[in-house]
Amino acid sequence: MHHFDVETLPAGRWRNGGGATREITSQPAGTDGFGWRASVADIDRGGPFSAFPGVDRTLTLLAGDGARLACAGVFDQLLTRVGEPFAFSGDLALTAELPGGACRVLNIMVRRGHRTARVDQVVGTVVPPAGHAGVVYVLRGRWQAGADGRVLASGQGVWWDGAGHASGGPVVPLTPDAAALWSDIAPAV
């Protein structure tokens, strides 16, 4: 398992100036095209989202009053609840509005036909399935992760690439208020 703290990840500004992305991981590493990618985006102002042809995306609100994502004639979705994922095709040209100001989202992207992603809010132990990649992002409380027993707090987490038989052990809640996002990245069937 690889540990991360969002506040220590480098932030790259978007080309349109509407936000910044902090990449957690992009796999396989060091290639032009990713099979899957996890990042945290700070959306500063409304405007267009970049299209990612051939990619399925899941956005989950982490902080702020939310965002309205729209694609003419396809959907108009208001994200207002922290921890509630919204999945959509990266092929679509979206626009975002920020009715309450800036917000932060977890962005999971998978290459269609190669990987699938399921994002769930969890309050109990996460046991990653063998052969699956994934990300656990702590929303609140304290969690213990992997064989090294590192304790994680809000804005921190772990990711694993799914290589080999095991991910490095379970991710376990330590406090009654613990909640996290678990992104299970599975091979496409």
Cα dist from 105 to 64, 98, 111, 165, whole Å: 9, 12, 19, 30
SS3 157: strand
Residues 106-139: tens digit of each pLDDT:
999 999 999 999 999 999 999 999 999 999 999 9
In this predicted structure, the answer to whether residue 167 has a pLDDT above a threshold of 80 is no
Tell me the three state secondary structure of residue 179: strand
Burial class (CB in 10 A: 0-12, 13-18, 19+), 66: buried
